[in-house]
A and B are shown apart, each in its own frame.
Chain A
Amino acid sequence: MSEHESGIQPSKPAVWNDPKYRALFFQVLLVLGLGYFFYTIIDNTLSNMEARGISTGFAFLGEAAGFGIGMSLIEYTEANTYGRTFWVGLLNTLLVSFLGIIFATVLGFIMGIARLSHNWLIAKIAMLYIEIFRNIPVLLQIFFWYFAVLAALPSVRQSIDLGAGVQFNNRGLYLPSPVPEDGFSIVVWLFVIGIVASFFLARWAHKRQDDTGQQFPIFWSTLGLVFGLPLLVFLAMGAPLSWDVPELKGFNFRGGVTIIPELLSLLLALTIYTGTYIAETVRAGINSVSHGQTEASLALGMSRGQTMRLIIVPQAMRVIIPPLTSQYLNLAKNSSLAVAVGYPDLVNVFMGTTLNQTGQAVEIVFMTMAVYLTMSLSISAFMNWYNKFMALVER
């Protein structure tokens, strides 16, 4: 044996013994197997549905829906298709999720910071808020706000006039809607330009402070650019905007925009409930920043507010963002509880009425699940990007 060994190079193993090709082979096999598995499932489902006389396919999306929906962000009438009810429901879901996430974040940050306040009363109020609302199931809170809000509000004929054309009663909050006239687009453009300009201004100011240590009144200048200038121009042009004011006609107010009680209560409940979790996340994040940072900052002469804003929060964010993402996902998914109080979200409209009128449960549940999956993945992707953005950049 030994005389052999010396002369022979380790030969390349045969293809079927090469771990690289083996792995590839089994992966291909798995993909093929899975593909076949799903193909049979789908095929079997379809032929079983056919055998049982259940309609299949997506043709129903083109048929006229024939039912009304209480609130829609896009034009919708009974004559529109089932496909359109999908979009109406989807937009309503996105609306509460989006607003809910914003409000819950604001409330959560305020309460999380308040709970760490040195002021005894403020800290206790924040604690009470968190402990109470975190421990009541969110569905119960939705019901509570809905029926509490409804019961507390007067009927249409005794509507509360909040001035400036705003009406509040048990059919909702009625606001005048703006009707732009000639030239109003200039104001809108100025507003957009203002936002872009203040973004660059902020970068410039930041750099200048890094270089020279001089500060720039960035808050006031942004305010001026974004709101002040467009407002001045708007007034100078003679206010080219009129208002469609809601008026009592027959049983209800007509005109303007209506925020229905279902949306109000759902938003209230989701905000307050999710806010508690965000508050705790924020508190944990702030506590994770070592106290030495605060002391150092105060020693450098920064105020408590500045310390919080410039030193503590940016570092805390790294701890806060990952759990914050799951709270956002929870809120988006909890928004499907809308159905309990009749808010026309995707689950209520599409997986509810549309499913029931067409009977195409398999297709509709599939589409609805796909929407929630996409929504969750998008939120995750955005938050992962934001997390990277906020991560500590070592200099």
Chain B
Amino acid sequence: MNKITSTIALTSILAFSANTANADTLDSIKSKGHIQCGVSTGLPGFSNADAAGNWQGLDVDMCRAVAAAVLGDASKVKYTPLTAKERFTALQSGEIDMLPRNTTWTLTRDASLGLNFAGVNYYDGQGFMVTKALGVKSALELDGAAVCIQAGTTTELNLADYFRLNGMQYKSVTYDTSDATVKGFEAGRCDMLTSDQSQLYALRIKLKDPDSAMVLPEVISKEPLGPVVRQGDDKWFNIVKWTLFAMVNAEEMGITSANADKMKSSDNPSVGRFMGGQGEKLGLGDDWAYNIVKQVGNYGESFERNVGMGSPLKISRGLNALWTNGGLQYAPPIR
């Protein structure tokens, strides 16, 4: 949906609705029977529709996990593809219920858009992709380069900071869709394309000749990507937050989609709490966490399947390994 329409929708809601905070998202989802999930327009590994129109990816799994927890069925999700520019208005106007769309958690977004970040499902950082023919080995050699970027991203800001800090100049070409950004880069309009590193790998496999491009070693920013919800509906916020925590905790406790049924009878008290007894506090069914792991899998499974070794992206866990393995993925306990 285009941005003007969303903005008009947003404005009219703001203008004509009585002065109350948000309606209850959980109730509205239960009555309509599905979750409306805002995702990217197509980013392999994170949210991408296959030829048959089925959405797949790490972010898509976030939507499916919430659907499993809330409605007991991971398939009850409808997707709204959004460009970077459209995403926040779509969430503010209530067009979507949640936004897992490789979105960076920043102070401005958290504090001034009327939104809340429910956690981090991928720790990322911004990088550069160049054509091999350019013969550049480091981003510091890029003075005077032309850069293709997507509008409405943190990428635009980091790029400006980085070049200014290093006393270098650049010329930006800012497109509104990732397709146009990739095409512009491919057509030679720019010397480099910059984005979050994970997305560079994803966009690289979209190139006609992926081997002609390479990702430079520099990482110039922190990009904690996570699902976003509207501010003011704490119940819904908690559900999305704890869905993510449940996936991470499941991995830590060794609960997988394959062994979930067997683990139900485990005598480990933590696993027992995971399998039942806590859902009511979130306003969910007793088997909310079981449904997540059974139908979608734990965090590690989702990672490997979508962006890790089981996918064309072949990204290693790195920062996204569990804290027990030297990574940053750490979830508060379910108790």
Does B associate with A?
yes
- Chain A residues proximal to chain B, CB less than 8 Å: 41-42, 44-45, 47-49, 51-55, 66-70, 78, 147, 150-151, 155, 170-171, 249-252, 254, 260-262, 339-342, 344, 348-349, 351-353, 355-359, 361-362, 365
**How many angstroms between the C-alpha atoms of A211 and B146 in the bound complex?**
63
In this complex, how many residues of chain B approach chain A with their Cβ under 8 Å: the count is 61
Chain A residues, Cβ within 8 Å of B22: 52
Q: Is the interface of A mostly helix, strand, loop or mixed?
A: helix
**How many angstroms between the C-alpha atoms of A251 and B191 in the bound complex?**
8
**How many angstroms between the C-alpha atoms of A68 and B169 in the bound complex?**
10
Chain B residues, Cβ within 8 Å of A260: 173
Q: Is the CB of B151 within 8 A of A356?
A: yes
Q: Is the CB of A51 within 8 A of B21?
A: yes
- For A49, give its contact among B8, B89, B114, B134 (CB under 8 Å): B114
Chain B residues, Cβ within 8 Å of A352: 85, 151-152, 174, 176
Which of B54-62, B72-80, B181-189 is found at the contact surface with chain A? B181-189
Q: Is the CB of A52 within 8 A of B114?
A: yes
Write the B171-208 contact mask toward A (1 if CB under 8 angstroms, else 0): 11111100010011001110100000000000000000
Chain B residues, Cβ within 8 Å of A41: 15-16
Q: Is the CB of A357 within 8 A of B108?
A: yes
With contacts A45-B15, A53-B114, A66-B157 taken as known, whether A252 is within 8 angstroms of B174 at the C-beta atoms is: no
Q: Min CB distance, A211 to chain B, in Å?
A: 59
- Chain B residues proximal to chain A, CB less than 8 Å: 3-4, 7-8, 10-11, 13-17, 19-22, 84-85, 88-89, 92, 108-109, 111-115, 134, 142-146, 148, 151-153, 156-157, 159-161, 163-164, 170-176, 180, 183-184, 187-189, 191, 230-232
Q: Is the CB of A70 within 8 A of B112?
A: no
Chain B residues, Cβ within 8 Å of A355: 3, 85, 152
Q: Is the CB of A51 within 8 A of B19?
A: yes
Chain B residues, Cβ within 8 Å of A52: 14, 21-22, 92, 114, 230-232
Chain A residues, Cβ within 8 Å of B112: 53-55, 358-359
Q: Is the CB of A155 within 8 A of B188?
A: yes
Q: Is the CB of B88 within 8 A of A342?
A: no
- For B172, give its contact among A42, A68, A155 (CB under 8 Å): A68
Q: Is the CB of B188 within 8 A of A150?
A: yes
Which A-chain residue is minimally distant from B151 (CB atoms)?
A: A352
Chain A residues, Cβ within 8 Å of B172: 67-70
**How many angstroms between the C-alpha atoms of A357 and B221 in the bound complex?**
17
Chain A residues, Cβ within 8 Å of B115: 53
Q: Is the CB of A261 within 8 A of B144?
A: no
22 A–B contacts from the bound complex (CB under 8 Å): A49-B114, A52-B14, A52-B21, A52-B232, A67-B156, A68-B159, A250-B143, A251-B191, A262-B173, A342-B173, A342-B175, A342-B176, A351-B3, A352-B85, A353-B156, A355-B85, A356-B84, A359-B112, A361-B11, A361-B89, A365-B4, A365-B7
Q: Is the CB of B7 within 8 A of A68?
A: no
Q: Is the CB of A170 within 8 A of B114?
A: no
